[in-house]
Chain A
């Protein structure tokens, strides 16, 4: 058996070390790496289930041109030709790359080099735009560089941890565990009473979007109560010029909280020097996301509580390599090595380093704009890597159509079918986590290796190789001629010398010659201090106080918040492979306040339709008071592959933060209505079911699949509908039908085993789903249709007395209970007292041995 392999988790930006242990069944089981400084052996539910997600079903294993398998050479030549042609006919800005925080730093580096240095456009943007762009912009405005100044240790060092717009308990569970283990007092600032809020000492349920005024108010409180750090002030600019801060009363009014709540929080924050403020998408994903970031940073800067043990602002990222992507220039407005595209000296330095024929002269299209350019016809060739914009971008329906509108679309992915791959002209099979090799940078600037422990399946190749081969075919043989990812990392590491040359802190040069294979997790600046900016050495010269102006928030009747759930990640291409992860929440849902539910006629477990002018979503109603009336919440994970109409971003308008370009994903004004389907259904199936209904949501189970269903009109023939759902062409149906009530239950049996069961009813189907799921593949399929375990009554056994329906086991029980004659059995059970045919059988059950002993 192979040795365990140390690698880094595939999911969020915590970047936990994982050790993959081979099992004797040929699989792997994930354990936390006790030596990794991110997690010291901890793992969350998703990380722990990594071993469940390694199967190859549904994988893209060969290059595909249309629906034909193509040799690599053919596919790569075609891509090179199409991109070259588009550039020749329409200029460099007619092509675009849309990449992903799941690319490794090496892949990202190659993508950026190809686009910005060789094609000569900056039309490369990444799904990190949806996640981190406001933090990047905020960092750059305040510090002059995209720097996270603190480390995870500070979560344990802190006396107070404030979590803003972050459901840390679900989205970054290991960091949440570290916060809780550290013993700091905790405050959650979130409109929703999330699991994080539930576990916090204080929850501030601010009105959505009132973050800026809340933090501006804190700034005023800090000043008023003398908490500014006068020593640190020399490193800052704008501190005195700052506009007057709002009063506590004004903050309370704007945020919908009480004066006491606000004052208590301000006093706590002000009086606790060791304070870490963690923030995430609730801050970033807003039209004023960058302002929110700076409003938080202002408070930390003014008090000097930055980059110090136990104190500092802390942006936590959602993707495994969002940070690495930022370092190598993955965003359309950045150059590699944290250099600025707007700066001519930076551009020249980068071009010189690459010896490239070109260098992008201006920022390229940011994500939302990129797909608008696809829609308008500006983009002639698009390459999407490892991300699913047809699901994840706002106005997702329009994005889907825009991708379809691009004359030539390449998608690199590990999945055969995603909502985006189905739009591709050419699909390139990439290596998945566990197969690919490279580095990632986590939220505390720590670079860790992702190491392969699985062979490359089929013809799949690493992403950097895809791009390098296309680069070579476009005529740049020497610039893309790496043999290994280690060579790319080496080139990138050396390039970071440019960063320090221009006064930035990103410095990885020390890793240029290290043994890449054994590279241990290491923070940048490599060889420098772990905590940054506490020395006042801001790349911009001085730390800048922005004092952003609070903006009036629209108050729609229904405002839709979005986010993650505990056990899924992004569009579930990986997590949906694990039954453990799929069953925590197995379908898209919308949280609706009980008051709203009542007014709308929404019933618990009923369905609701959300709509905007951009699109609609159908999901299960979760009636809860986690949010306030008028505030809805829906998860981001469901796609057209996993649900009929569960793509939340179909609803979300493409409004963005003007500074960061990050979409405002959590503030769509939506319409909501209770949906009244004619029927509801629930099904389990051994084979992947193919539902066709108004509403469906499909999830993995331990023994197969499950589907939730609802429809407007019942099918003519439920048995045939079920047969088609399960693909059970030859199996025999077991049916229970209560026609007047519209209840039909159908099970299919093959070789005596349950292969599928469908339960329908006019109301949401109430049954023991776990019980039914477990019966898949088992015998006694008929009982599965009861939909619940039996009452725990003893199995009566085969019938002995047919007249009274008395079973063998029941009779044996009576005998052991003292009924030692046939008549006594009859007296106890009536067995044998009518036609008497079973009396000999009963007599035969009597204890002969005891008689013999007498």
Chain B
């Protein structure tokens, strides 16, 4: 008997989950709700679309043909606000849908910092294609200025994209260095210098006090008293799991919708996947674990045994010409040892963090070609041993019998990607 699956949210996680489901021969009649008026696309690639290096068409992952082929009923542009768990009915403006299984994949919401003026026109987040289109419209004005609040992955991608479109861009960042979750201060400084060399003004330790303007934003006032005139403000100060729907319908929630290893919520017929979930206290912002979750979700729906384990993840910044890679844990600690490479002549910085003779973290700036190899070492936990002297120079300089180029190293756990900045 064909079961009815309703999916709420048409992002990268649900798209991948459906692929797995159909690949594994799942016999479900699927209805797919999406708040955006379009189907699944590669959200990671919005930055190249913003900068003009890609078009939207190039980043669409699932076409109308694909949905038709797999019998997916699409309900794009409809936001689901209510679910009758008792009767297993999803209430929607375009008509209710009964489900046997429900998959919540509502993703995340941008964090809008609660400052006066946050609701002025010209203040936007950076989450979807609409945001991109809006930013592009400002960028099209000659001599237009932009302020990006937040110097994390997303904010910097936005800043770089806007700068490429010719805007005068200022990044306002609260912490002492850019991307403090992914970079150490040294790499953050190099990144700041790089962005400044591209004409982006970067203010660190800068705290936004107020957005000024009558109807439309006109300036950003910092707590330091500094005033920055602007035509638009992009809030990229992090994301929050979009767990509102789950909360509303009484699912157990914390920061996100709490799921078990099989991606089930507190209601066994409701599963959740992606940035909206919380798994063992952890919430997610990068695509690699989402993809792993998607696979588990598909398996659970098929009754197969599967368990999600948060993978070793790495971060890359999708700004053309900025090579940046970080993975693992690079906090300092009593048991931590580090190997640091700095080359100001080539703007290269690398830092390996070791614990018990194993690599536990890596930060690379300027030359990231060996990043996946290091990530593999972090994942495998193999002792660095005698290779330590030249370890930081990568596989080509490590003297081992089985030295092999990174492309042939079995990279088992890593899917490298990118997006986001899990909010603090």
Contact = CB atoms under 8 A, between A and B. Distances in A.
A804 B340 contact: no
Contacts of B407: 796, 804-807, 810, 829-831
B405 A796 contact: yes
B399 A788 contact: yes
A791 B396 contact: yes
Given A802-B368, A804-B411, A836-B45, A734 B343 contact: yes
B418 interface: yes
B339 A736 contact: yes
B416 interface: yes
Contact of A803 (B316, B388, B404): B316
A785 B341 CA distance: 10
A835 B418 contact: yes
Given A783-B393, A805-B407, A734 B344 contact: yes
B72 interface: no
A829 B346 CA distance: 28
A123 B312 CA distance: 83
B197 interface: no
Contact of B416 (A740, A741, A743, A804): A804
Given A787-B390, A805-B368, A837 B411 contact: no
A25 interface: no
Interface in B216-267: none
A799 interface: yes
Contact of B399 (A734, A739, A791): A791
A786 interface: yes
A28 to B, nearest CB: 39
Interface string B309-324: 0000000101000010
Contacts of A794: 405
Interface residues of A, number: 43
A463 B379 CA distance: 74
B405 A781 contact: no
B140 interface: no
Contacts of A733: 342, 344
A749 B340 CA distance: 18
B130 interface: no
B345 interface: yes
B345 A805 contact: no
A735 B44 contact: no
A737 interface: yes
Given A734-B343, A735-B342, A807 B369 contact: yes
Contact of A793 (B44, B48, B342, B405): B405
Contacts of B44: 835
Nearest to A792: B396
B54 interface: yes
Interface residues of B, number: 47
A735 B340 contact: yes
Interface in A358-393: none
Q: Which of B393, B395, B399 has the most CB of A within 10 A?
A: B393
Contacts of A785: 341, 393
B408 to A, nearest CB: 9
Given A739-B337, A788-B390, A805-B371, A834 B396 contact: no
B403 A834 contact: no
Contacts of B344: 732-734
B405 A836 contact: no
A836 B338 contact: no
B348 interface: yes
A154 B404 CA distance: 61
Nearest to B397: A786
A583 interface: no
A752 interface: yes
Interface in A783-829: 783, 785-788, 790-791, 793-794, 796, 799, 802-807, 810, 829
Interface string B358-390: 000000000011111100000000000000111
B121 interface: no
A734 B346 CA distance: 9
Interface of A: 732-741, 743, 749, 752, 761, 766, 781-783, 785-788, 790-791, 793-794, 796, 799, 802-807, 810, 829-831, 834-837, 840
15 contacts: A732-B344, A733-B342, A738-B388, A749-B345, A781-B343, A785-B393, A788-B399, A793-B403, A796-B406, A802-B316, A804-B406, A804-B416, A805-B373, A807-B369, A835-B42
| 10 closest Cβ pairs, A-B complex | A790-B396, A786-B393, A786-B397, A734-B343, A740-B337, A805-B372, A803-B416, A738-B339, A749-B345, A791-B403
Given A791-B395, A810-B405, A834-B415, 4 more contacts: A788-B390, A796-B369, A805-B372, A835-B417
